[in-house]
């Protein structure tokens, strides 16, 4: 299974990707997580990405595309993958298509998560993330068993720099202008499945599973 999750910031892409990738036994490839790991590790890639991420802008395509190409060349991605946060504009989608064409393969499904903007602001202001395993929580909607600590590995949770309200509003503008056109692109390719991403996490997962099964 080769799948892509598309949706605005805070739609629950990371949350659902974690669950679905584990159910499907394929790696979750999150460009946001890879960038954040590089920023906290102080790598060259992290230095290139940080200023864009802090503003809520997209990291330039040449940087992002090269990173994804490397990641998809790793052995565990040969049997399939779930992309979270990539592609993010039509140019990245064309690049992905080229990469998969070279391997004589293609995507099976692009799952669009829909949620309204006020819900996004609520979700992101309460988000807490684990720097160790990447799992995301919410202080009200999906709280860890012990406040501020990851259930999986006991690591202290942190709040993302780009989750301040004004940066969230800017990320929503970037989504509308640059990422939303992808939805039409994939609709034309016959790959799009759209679900509502409001309601409890488990209900969204059930909708996602049904939508993926419908495209298999
Ligand atoms: P990225 O990390 O991809 O951020 P994003 O797309 O803005 O998405 P988020 O991670 O904010 O939200 P999500 O949809 O994953 O929601 P989550 O599951 O966490 O990108 C960050 C930055 O990196 C970009 O701005 C850019 O600079 C750069 N970047 C990344 N990819 C790039 C690319 N391809 N090209 C260029 N630049 C790139 O959930 C959010 C919260 O809601 C959590 O607290 C969660 O617990 C809660 N929640 C989830 N589901 C529910 C539910 N059903 N009900 C209630 N609460 C819920
Ligand atoms: Zn963790």
pLDDT digits (tens, 9 = 90+) for 63-100: 999 999 999 999 999 999 999 999 999 999 999 999 99
CA neighbor of 15 nearest in space, from 147, 208, 186: 208
First CA to last CA distance, the chain: 8
Q: Is 128 a catalytic residue?
A: no
Average pLDDT over the chain, rounded to an integer = 94
194 pairs with which residues across the strands?
112
Distance 119 CA to ligand 1 centre (A): 13
Structure letter (DSSP) for residue 12: S
Rounded CA gap, 71 and 66, in Å?
A: 9
- The upper half-sphere exposure of residue 59, i.e. CA atoms within 13 Å in the direction of its Cβ, equals 26
State which ligand 1 atom lies nearest to the alpha carbon of 163. Answer: 11
- The closest-lying atom of ligand 1 relative to the alpha carbon of residue 33 is 2
Q: Which atom of ligand 1 is nearest to the CA of 174?
A: 25
| CA dist., res. 146 & res. 144, Å (int) | 5
101 SS3 class: helix
Domain boundaries, the chain: 2-215
Find the helix packing angle between 61-72 and 90-102, rounded to 10°. Answer: 30
Helices (H), 8-152: 13-24, 31-41, 44-55, 61-72, 90-102, 117-125
Q: How far is 98 from 86, CA to CA, in rounded Å? A: 14
Cβ(85) – ligand 1 distance below 6 Å: yes
pLDDT tops 90 at residue 165: no
**Interface ipTM:** 0.96
The residue from 28, 50, 171, 207 that is catalytic is: 171
| CATH class as words, domain 2-215 | alpha beta
Cα separation, 160 vs 37, in Å, equals 12
Whether 160 is catalytic: yes
Whether the predicted pLDDT of 212 surpasses 90? yes
Note the pLDDT tens digit of each residue in 6-50: 999 999 999 999 999 999 999 999 999 999 999 999 999 999 999
């Amino acid at each position: 299974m080769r799948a892509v999750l598309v949706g605005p910031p805070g739609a629950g892409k990371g949350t659902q990707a974690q669950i679905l990738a584990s159910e499907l036994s394929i790696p979750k490839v999150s460009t946001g997580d890879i960038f954040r790991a590089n920023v906290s590790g102080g790598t060259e890639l992290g230095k290139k990405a940080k200023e864009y991420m802090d503003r809520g802008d997209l990291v330039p395509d040449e940087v992002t595309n090269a990173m994804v190409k490397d990641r998809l060349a790793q052995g565990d991605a040969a049997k399939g993958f779930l992309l979270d946060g990539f592609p993010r504009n039509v140019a990245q989608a064309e690049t992905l298509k080229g990469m998969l064409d070279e391997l004589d393969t293609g995507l099976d499904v692009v799952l669009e998560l829909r949620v309204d903007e006020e819900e996004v602001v609520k979700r992101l202001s309460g988000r807490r993330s684990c720097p160790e395993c990447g799992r995301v929580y919410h202080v009200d909607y999906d709280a860890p068993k012990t406040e501020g600590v990851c259930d999986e590995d006991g690591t202290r949770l942190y709040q993302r720099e780009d989750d301040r309200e004004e940066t969230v509003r800017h990320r929503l503008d970037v989504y509308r202008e640059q990422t939303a056109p992808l939805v039409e692109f994939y609709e034309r390719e016959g790959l799009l499945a759209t679900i509502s991403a409001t309601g409890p996490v488990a209900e969204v997962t059930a909708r996602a599973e049904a939508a993926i099964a419908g495209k298999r």
